[in-house]
């Protein structure tokens, strides 16, 4: 595939778990993970290291069956995967139904709190916020940041408001000043360029599974950086709609092949309580 980019093993792992384990109450054999990752160009050591790190971070649980080790989801990883699932299949890449509401979040942290500031900004960007001025961030729509702020222990340092722009406010200019539209547009365009050929060309069944995992991983990496700005205030040639259409078309074409391959390649067992 032209323009193929290397994927982080943990990103691919999360996609794999969301695709094959989420909502099924099953655990997957480590050897199956290693096999699939090898087909994606990721070596056995990297796959095993990723599994181990995710266990230590509370993102995976282990379950032994005889001499084999299986891995399943934790509450934490399930929440992460449900959020990704929502982003891909329900929220979508194009915001056509914005009601004019903005969420404003202001924060003031001590100068020595560099880590907390970095964590807050990263979480705000993931939630669709952009920096309006210094410690004042803005996002389209009504964004509930209660859990986000509480999780970081910053409730006393953050103030949140809902607002509407005054008539005459140049929202398009504000968007251009707050978010890096050119970089986001290029990511959508690059996605279309990489994946459009697979709307007509079909791979072998085994490659179909890996390609679908890569497709979903790359798509989530693109849309997770998108604040879903109101489309009526974006450039007329905004490429998100074409990219989303490409994603859904290719995903649909790859799905029968991926299901056939997963049935052959994956060893899954039911989740048992009391395993760690």
* Arithmetic mean of pLDDT, 258-276: 86
Domains 9-76+266-270 and 102-164 share a fold: no
Closest of 15, 23, 34, 29 to residue 71, by C-alpha: 29
CB distance 109 to 156 below 8 Å? no
Phi, psi (rounded to 5 degrees) for 230? -60, 125
Flag whether pLDDT at 276 surpasses 70. no
pTM above 0.95, yes or no: no
* Arithmetic mean of pLDDT, 40-45: 95
The 10s digit of each residue's pLDDT in 76-102 is 999 999 989 998 998 889 998 999 999
CB distance 208 to 260 below 8 Å? yes
CB distance 62 to 275 below 8 Å? yes
* Arithmetic mean of pLDDT, 233-255: 95
Give per-residue burial for 166-204: e unless 16+ CB within 10 Å, then b.
Answer: eeeeeeeebbeebbebeebbebbebbeebbeebeeeebe
pLDDT band at 2 (very low <50, low <70, confident <90, very high): very low
Tell me what pLDDT residue 246 has: 97
Tell me what pLDDT residue 176 has: 95
Average pLDDT score over the chain: 92
Hey, where are the domains in the chain?
9-76+266-270, 102-164, 179-265
Flag whether pLDDT at 269 surpasses 50. yes
CB distance 18 to 82 below 8 Å? no
Tell me what pLDDT residue 92 has: 86
Quote the percentage of the chain above a pLDDT of 90: 85
- Rounded Cα–Cα distance for residues 128 and 3 (Å): 27
* Arithmetic mean of pLDDT, 37-62: 96
Handedness of CA 90, 103, 173, 119 (dihedral sign): negative
Closest of 185, 174, 5 to residue 93, by C-alpha: 185
* Arithmetic mean of pLDDT, 30-51: 96
Flag whether pLDDT at 216 surpasses 80. yes
pLDDT band at 133 (very low <50, low <70, confident <90, very high): very high
For domain 102-164, the CATH architecture is: 2-Layer Sandwich (3.30)
Flag whether pLDDT at 72 surpasses 50. yes
Give per-residue burial for 53-66: e unless 16+ CB within 10 Å, then b.
Answer: ebeeeebbbebeee
Tell me what pLDDT residue 19 has: 95
* Arithmetic mean of pLDDT, 248-267: 94
Tell me what pLDDT residue 1 has: 57
CATH number 1.10.287.130 given to 9-76+266-270: no
- Lateral strand order in the sheet of 130-133: 130-133, 136-140, 102-107, 158-163
Name residue 136's beta-bridge partners.
Answer: 106, 133
């Amino acid at each position: 595939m032209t323009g193929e980019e290397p994927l982080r093993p943990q990103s691919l792992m999360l996609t794999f778990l969301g695709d094959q384990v989420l909502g099924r109450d099953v655990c997957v054999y480590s050897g199956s993970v290693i096999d699939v990752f090898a087909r994606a160009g990721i070596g056995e050591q990297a796959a095993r290291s990723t599994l181990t790190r995710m266990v230590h971070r509370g993102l995976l649980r282990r379950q032994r069956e005889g001499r084999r080790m299986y891995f399943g989801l934790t509450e934490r990883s399930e929440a992460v995967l449900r959020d990704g699932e929502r982003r891909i299949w329900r929220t979508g890449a194009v915001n056509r139904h914005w009601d004019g509401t903005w969420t404003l979040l202001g924060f003031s942290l001590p100068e020595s709190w560099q880590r907390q500031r970095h964590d807050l900004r990263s979480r705000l960007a993931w939630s669709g916020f952009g920096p309006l001025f210094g410690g004042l961030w803005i996002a389209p729509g009504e964004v509930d940041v209660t859990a986000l702020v509480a999780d970081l222990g910053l409730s006393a340092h953050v103030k949140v408001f809902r607002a509407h722009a005054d008539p005459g406010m140049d929202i398009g200019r504000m968007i251009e000043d707050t978010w890096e539209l050119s970089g986001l547009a290029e990511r959508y365009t690059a996605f279309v360029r990489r994946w459009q050929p697979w709307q007509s060309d079909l791979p072998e069944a085994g490659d179909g599974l890996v390609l679908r995992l890569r497709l979903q991983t790359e798509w989530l990496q693109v849309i997770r950086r998108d604040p879903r700005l109101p489309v009526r205030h974006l450039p007329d040639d905004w490429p998100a709609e074409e990219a989303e259409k490409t994603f859904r078309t290719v995903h649909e074409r790859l799905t029968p092949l991926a299901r056939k391959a997963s049935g052959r390649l994956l060893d899954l067992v039911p989740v048992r309580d009391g395993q760690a």
